[in-house]
Amino acid sequence: MVNGKIKYKQYQLSKLRIINYELRIGLHLIISILQKTNQNLFFNITKLIYNKNNVSIYLQLFLNKKNNFMSQEKKFANDLIDFIYASPSQYQAVRNIKAALLKKGFKKLDRGAIWNLQKGEKYFTSKNSSAIIAFIVGTGKIEDKGFRIVSAHTDSPSLKIKPEPEIVAENSYLKINVETYGGAILSTWLDRPLSIAGRVSLMSKNPLSPIVKYINIKRPILIIPNLAIHLFRDVNDGKKFRKQVDMLPIMSIIKDKFEKDGYLKKLLAKELNVNAEDILDFDLNLYEFEKGLIMGENNEFISSGKIDDLSMVHAGIDALFNSISPEATNVMACFDNEEVGSGTKQGAASPFLKDVLKRITWECSIEKDAFMRAKINSFCISADMAHAVHPNIPEKHCPVARPKINGGPVIKFNANQKYTTDGISAAVFGMLCKKAGVEYQKYANHSDEAGGSTLGSISTSQIDIRTVDVGNPMLAMHSIRELCGVKDHFSMKKVFDEFYK
Ligand SMILES: [Zn+2]
Q: Which of 293, 271, 290, 292 is nearest to 282 (CA)?
A: 271
Fold of the domain built from segment(s) 158-288:
Aminopeptidase i, Domain 2 (2.30.250)
* Global pTM value: 0.85
Contact 288, 480 (CB under 8 A): yes
Q: Report CA(56)–ligand 1 centroid distance (Å).
A: 49
Residue range(s) of every CATH 2.30.250.10 domain in the chain: 158-288
Q: Which of 366, 101, 408, 160 is nearest to 283 (CA)?
A: 160
Which helix (H) or strand (E) is 18 found in, with range? Answer: none
Q: Pick left, alpha or beta for residue 136 (phi over 0 → left; psi -120 to 50 → alpha; otherwise beta).
A: beta
Task: Give me the mean pLDDT over the 397-425 stretch.
Answer: 92
pLDDT value of residue 183: 95
pLDDT in tens, 71-129: 999 999 999 999 999 999 999 999 999 999 999 999 999 999 999 999 999 999 999 99
Return d(Cα 125, Cα 318) in angstroms, integer: 17
Q: Report CA(376)–ligand 1 centroid distance (Å).
A: 27
Q: Report CA(293)–ligand 1 centroid distance (Å).
A: 20
The burial class, CB within 10 Å (0-12 / 13-18 / 19+), for 359 is middle
pLDDT band at 352 (very low <50, low <70, confident <90, very high): very high
Q: What is the CATH number of domain 72-156+305-499?
A: 3.40.630.10
Mean pLDDT for all residues in the chain:
88
Among 11-25, 260-274, 464-478, whose mean pLDDT is lowest?
Answer: 11-25
Using alpha carbons only, what angle is made at residue 466 by residues 461 and 467, rounded to the nearest 5 degrees? 80
pLDDT at 34 over 80: no
Q: What are phi and psi of 242, to 5 degrees?
A: -90, 105
Contact 142, 327 (CB under 8 A): no
Q: Give the list of residues 6+ apart from residue 243 with CB closer than 8 angstroms, or none.
A: 179, 180, 186
Strand-pairing partners, residue 199, are: 214, 283
Q: What is the CA radius of gyration of the chain?
A: 26
pLDDT value of residue 109: 97
DSSP output for 102-143: HHTTPEE--TTS-----TT-EEEEEETTTEEEEEE--SS-HH
Q: Which of 340, 389, 386, 331 is nearest to 359 (CA)?
A: 331
pLDDT in tens, 188-237: 999 999 999 999 999 999 999 999 999 999 999 999 999 999 999 999 99
Q: Report CA(368)–ligand 1 centroid distance (Å).
A: 37
pLDDT band at 450 (very low <50, low <70, confident <90, very high): confident
pLDDT at 243 over 70: yes
Strands 301-304 and 122-127: unpaired
More confident residue, 52 or 257: 257
Q: Report CA(173)–ligand 1 centroid distance (Å).
A: 35
Which helix (H) or strand (E) is 413 found in, with range? Answer: strand 410-413
Q: Report CA(357)–ligand 1 centroid distance (Å).
A: 23
By percentage, how much of the chain surpasses pLDDT 90? 76
Contact 225, 260 (CB under 8 A): no
pLDDT at 65 over 80: no
pLDDT band at 6 (very low <50, low <70, confident <90, very high): very low
Contact 377, 145 (CB under 8 A): yes
Task: Give me the mean pLDDT over the 360-389 stretch.
Answer: 95
Residue range(s) of every CATH 3.40.630.10 domain in the chain: 72-156+305-499
Which helix (H) or strand (E) is 250 found in, with range? Answer: strand 250-253
Q: Report CA(329)–ligand 1 centroid distance (Å).
A: 25
